[in-house]
Structure 1
Amino acid sequence: MALLLACAPDAGDTTVSRNAAFAPEYLGIGVRLLDRDYEGDDLVAFDVKMRGARGRDDVAAYADCAVAEYALIRGYGFARHLRTNIETEAGVWHGDAIYSISAALPRGSRTIDAEVVRANCVETDIPTV
């Protein structure tokens, strides 16, 4: 009996129940190339849609996963988040995010290492492009 109790979650631990209730439905990713600068960096917009988000952070994470995979597919290793607009309508969350992608680590505090972010997306079951 002691062995079974040792494996049971702590009664005060709400992480298990909170995560068990999170069952998002990812509804798709749209990608638009907005511009390419003289250094070869791309300015790209991502439109993501999902149901069941717990909040804005879930929608932003979905957009980050999209840009991470896109950057790697295009031969880039990094992205810099420029902005994300998020709204909800009839239970569907819409995210419109813009990033610059580049081969070298860009300046700024909102940078994304594409390989690291993609690995996290795979681990957390967030789809990519």
Structure 2
Amino acid sequence: MPEVGQYTAASLAKISSRLNPFAREWDIWTEQTPEEERTSFLTFAYGHPLTQSQIVRFFTNKYGQYVERVYVNWQEPSIYGPPLFGRIVFKASCIPLDVLNGYQQTRFMVYGKPLWCKKFRPMPNHFEMDSFI
């Protein structure tokens, strides 16, 4: 058996795998899935919003360094009240699945405030829909 890195075309032909032995190694950081598949939709109880930093800290403590960014829907002017929803984008597509743990929706208590998470479903672009009418 040749040493590691000493393979020849003849020795590679004996391997019964259909995988390409010369293929690049898959890297989670450079070949990410689309953002929609790495995103969870967040909802807050009325009057109990969470800040971006609170959400980042909570998910980083629970799942590791996989938070890419967080959006909280703060509307201007503030007469509309506190935000009721947001989104969290993870660096890996497996994290939203882990967060949901097989459920449609999951509830967490974050710093004493309820936070609900569910799969993010992007809204259809109404401009594109109008062009088909």
Give the TM-score of the pair, scaled to structure 2: 0.30
Give the TM-score of the pair, scaled to structure 1: 0.31
* Bigger helix fraction: 1
Between 1 and 2, higher relative CO (CA 8 Å, sep ≥ 6) is seen in 2
* Bigger strand fraction: 1
Which protein is bigger by CA-based radius of gyration? 2
